[in-house]
Structure 1
Amino acid sequence: MTTVAQYQALAARSHAVITTHQHAGGAYPASPTFSAYRGYAWLRDGGFTAEGVSRFGDVGSADRFHDWVSRVLADRRGQVDDLRSAGPDVPVERMLPTRFTFDGQNGSDPWWDFQTDGYGIWLWSLVTHARRHGLDLDRWRPGIEVAVDYLTAFWGLPCYDWWEEHVEQRHVSTLGAIHGGLRAVGPFLSGDRAAAAADAADAARRLTLTEGVRDGHLVKWLGSTAVDGSLPACVVPFGLVAPGDPVATATLAKVAADLDVDGGVHRFTADVFYGGGQWLLLSALLGWNLARTGDRAGAWRHLAWIADHATSDGELPEQVPDHLLHPGSRPEWLDRWGPVATPLLWSHGMYLILADELGVLA
């Protein structure tokens, strides 16, 4: 049986993994060793990782990440202005990318780049960090304004999801992240920008509750019937539906019923990536939601599952091959990209978040 001291030790190790690999310029690498992720930082991964670091009490590391994002986005002020002037029919190839090199450049190799969720996740992460530590958001105003202007112009377009798939769909978890980010940053904004952010957040919520609910629960994308392991984020932390709301309760129950096996959570039932294993960060996300709804036993179950799947030196992988959904597809990915990403900094960041929710970091 894992002791509180052992959970605390893994939290300290998680913080060390994150900060050891943080680039001098502030970026959090997705994974320092994985062939397809090495050399790149995502706003989605980094936003959640920064939240974990902020909860751990490392203000400086989180500040440096947010400084880096703000610089990267401020450098794209002209691009966003041009996109907004061009209207909604801009080819996806012209949109801002989902990942950047550590020096803030676009990637040079092909990727599934048009993903708007990361911009909302960054806004939420930044505002949450600033409120927690009493920081002035003016420090990051240039990046904030670019992210807000980009999202208010293009929030409703189909794009790739959290898993970089299905560019033709409008994904509920993406809409939730946009809603959460624009709502969080709203009090900092003024004038037309504040009004546009509020309008876009409200519209994303209305659209989701109109077209993104089936049988009382949120679904993977508008018009779908399936669920996705990222959907709990629409409850906590993004507040598209509040904890305890019937839609929130039904969503958490459906995700648990369809995707949770022994504490580990799959992405979605059709997942063939590395055979469709269980993702540590999604286990933490569901646990985070359970903790907020008062199911602390359920949340502890997820924290224990994550801890049980740390490597011998305390690194957390992206996923593990327990209860593979499609085992026949695993060799293809091993041949293409090598072993599963280990460590994945997002996994470590999510462990810190759940550990903090359960008082482990106190």
Structure 2
Amino acid sequence: MEKKPFLIDGVAGNGKMLAAFGKNSRLYRLWWPRVDGPQHMDRMSAGVRLPGVTKGVLWTDGEGWVHRQEYVGDSAHLVTVADHAEIGVSVRVEDFAVDGEDIFVRDYGVTNQSEQPVPVQMYLYTSLAMMESRRYNTVAFDRQEESLVHFRNPYACAVGFDGPVDGFQAGDAWEAAEGGILNGNEIAMTTDGALYRDLGELNPGETVRLPVYLAFGDGYHAALTRLARAREKGEKTMRANTLAGWKEYLAQAKPVCTGDETIDCLYRRSLIVFKLMSDEQYGSLIAAPEFDEDFSRCGGYAYCWGRDAAYITTAIDRAGYHDRARRFYRWTVKAQSPDGSWQQRHYLDGRLAPHWGLQIDEPGSILWGMWQHYLETKDRPFLEEMWPTLRKGAEFLVGFIDSATGLPRPSRDLWEERSGEHTYSAAAVFGGLTGASCAARELGCMSEARRWFHAAEGIREAAAQQLWNADRESFFRGVKLAVSREAYETACARGVKTETETDDKGYTTHYVREDPVIDVSLLGVSLPFGMFDIQDERVKKTAQAVETALGQSPVGGIQRYEGDPYIGGNPWILTTLWLALYKIKAGDRAGAERYLRWAANHRTDLDLLPEQVDKSTGDPAWVVPLTWSHAMLVLTVLEWVKAREKPFEAEVRD
């Protein structure tokens, strides 16, 4: 497979497929039939050859071209324009996944910008390594349908122009295409092939359109059938229908008109990102398009976390997409483990994905989110439908409480980096049990309501007694932090509180009693889970400690925690917006607006939000787009709008 960049520039999709692009229009990745995989794209490039002018093909994603990129209004139609001043040719490509179809369109327009007529030939090179593997692939030219078909059971993709081709080659096609000479080979057990069409002579200012269709199907003939359907419908009809679909989708949302078009556009783009990252079949969603397939610098992102999803789904709900939120919670029924827990992350079909172990804030977050959905919709049938799942989840949480501390037992933390009894985890479990208790009360199940309420209150009392760090005037990040034996012995020598536990197999875990690191997740004790009131002095002091300790980046923003080593320890978009949310709730509207605008100012050129911002340059540092970043943007903007309306309402009453 071609080496692909970690950071991408644009995304397009339709809930069945997801495509990731570079600024140069290179289609780096294409997932189908779900947005979490498999991924099939090795390389796809288009180029022009001017007989008598150029020696070979000039690939539009290569050197010599100047690129600019934008979306078509509020849609996921990505337009990239490549200009080549030396030959006087411009190539525009509009990329979009057809609404409701297994068809991706790359609509090329070639324009002669010179003052002389020029002959132009268009070449298309495609290498599809199905399921990201070069093994067992075949590419064939189908003469009847005038297309290349890439296939490996059960996946197939037919690639063709809107009509006949003038030349083709299956296998060993890169050098042949570069030289502008395709040999007509019809089939090869490899990944690549090429097509070309002679566009004829273009007069000055003239543009010739050449739509390219990628039609996916379950096997060779299904892909060809979908290609035929794409040609029958035509690019113009599919484009119009898909743009209309995006318009209809956005019309369902709660409108936001802040008077700041940057914020308003970013809000709408966030709603589009939610749809792109969501699976149309199952209702689940991914954290981000995958970009680190080899887990070389992280553990991957194209999975569904209950943690991310609780924030994202709440944002989707509050933006007005109640049906989509409901579909996600129905998916959680499928993903729930037999013991009532939800494991760290899942594939979008509900199966367990690679992970690091139980992260107890995730089941807490899911139960909290279910109750939030009810508060948004007052949908009692939803609660009744979720009751068996909710009850199993709440009982699991009750059984997970450490009898010695009164806090949830050790598990992975919010950031999946350490094991312990974390403050954020306690807040999330409190939120989950409180939400479950309220749901039980609403359904008349008073025994469960009382038991879960008392369990939640027990966690709050334990947190109040054990988690306050008077020395730093902040909550501890947690207690019973698991450390290596060496770190344990060092802590013992320094007089730090420690303890050990030995399990039934004789394995000993070493703990440092208290974790004093300032972490932005400590805001979670009030937002969103409400374990402590936002006016609580401990909450106020913790928020101040977070802002002081984690707001030291030269470019601004808020880091995750002190000494964060991940990708250099940069400020994150979502952490900065988390503090903005806190400030809105605490009444500091000016401070909130400052952090909101910082996040908005660090969007990409296409209004996508990264995970992190480089602490030295201010450029995106990791993961574009991160769905959780967009969720926090939506939640913050909606709260900001609400807060701005309050003085006006008071004035009217006076």
Same topology, TM > 0.5: yes
Partner of 1:118: 362
Partner of 2:557: 264
8 A contact 1:212–1:224 mirrored in 2: no
Partner of 1:165: 417
The separation in 2 between residues aligned to 1:96 and 1:59, in whole angstroms, is 22
Residue 41 of structure 1, aligned match among 300, 304, 309: 304
Partner of 1:59: 322
Partner of 1:27: 284
Partner of 2:13: none
| Displacement after TM superposition at 1:323 (Å) | 5.1
The separation in 1 between residues aligned to 2:572 and 2:379, in whole angstroms, is 33
Deviations 1:51-94 (A, max 9, x none): 11111111122111111112322xx33x34xxxxxxxxxxxxxx
Larger helix share, 1 or 2: 1
Q: How does 1:283-302 map to 2 (within 5 A)?
A: 283-302=576-595
2:346 is the alignment partner of 1:100: yes
The separation in 1 between residues aligned to 2:551 and 2:434, in whole angstroms, is 30
The separation in 1 between residues aligned to 2:532 and 2:301, in whole angstroms, is 35
| Displacement after TM superposition at 1:214 (Å) | 0.6
Partner of 1:334: none
Moved more, 170-179 or 351-360: 351-360
Deviations 1:181-221 (A, max 9, x none): 21122122224432331232112112211111112421211
Identity of aligned residues (%): 28
8 A contact 1:72–1:143 mirrored in 2: no
| Displacement after TM superposition at 1:350 (Å) | 0.7
TM-score, length basis structure 2: 0.48
The separation in 1 between residues aligned to 2:374 and 2:606, in whole angstroms, is 32
8 A contact 1:284–1:354 mirrored in 2: yes
Partner of 1:318: 611
Code of the residue aligned with 1:210 in structure 2: it is Q
Partner of 1:329: none
Partner of 1:250: 541
Larger Rg: 2
Moved more, 315-324 or 241-250: 315-324
Code of the residue aligned with 1:359 in structure 2: it is V
The separation in 1 between residues aligned to 2:561 and 2:601, in whole angstroms, is 22
Q: Output the aligned Cα RMSD.
A: 2.0
Cα 1:129–1:96, aligned 2, differ >3 Å: closer, same or farther?
closer
Code of the residue aligned with 1:14 in structure 2: it is S
Q: Secondary structure at the match of 1:200?
A: helix
| Displacement after TM superposition at 1:39 (Å) | 3.5
Code of the residue aligned with 2:275 in structure 1: it is T
Q: Secondary structure at the match of 1:230?
A: helix
Deviations 1:132-179 (A, max 9, x none): 122121122232122211111114211110011221x21001101111
2:301 is the alignment partner of 1:10: no
2:639 is the alignment partner of 1:357: yes
Aligned residue pairs total 327
| Displacement after TM superposition at 1:321 (Å) | 1.4
Code of the residue aligned with 1:60 in structure 2: it is D
8 A contact 2:560–2:572 mirrored in 1: yes
Deviations 1:27-59 (A, max 9, x none): 110112333334410000000001111111111
The separation in 1 between residues aligned to 2:262 and 2:476, in whole angstroms, is 36
Partner of 2:140: none
8 A contact 1:263–1:283 mirrored in 2: no
Gaps of 5+ in 1: 81-94, 325-338
Larger strand share, 1 or 2: 2
The separation in 2 between residues aligned to 1:200 and 1:265, in whole angstroms, is 33
Higher RCO by CA contacts (8 Å cutoff, separation 6 or greater): 1
Cα 1:321–1:132, aligned 2, differ >3 Å: closer, same or farther?
same
2:154 is the alignment partner of 1:154: no
| Displacement after TM superposition at 1:284 (Å) | 1.1
The separation in 1 between residues aligned to 2:367 and 2:276, in whole angstroms, is 24
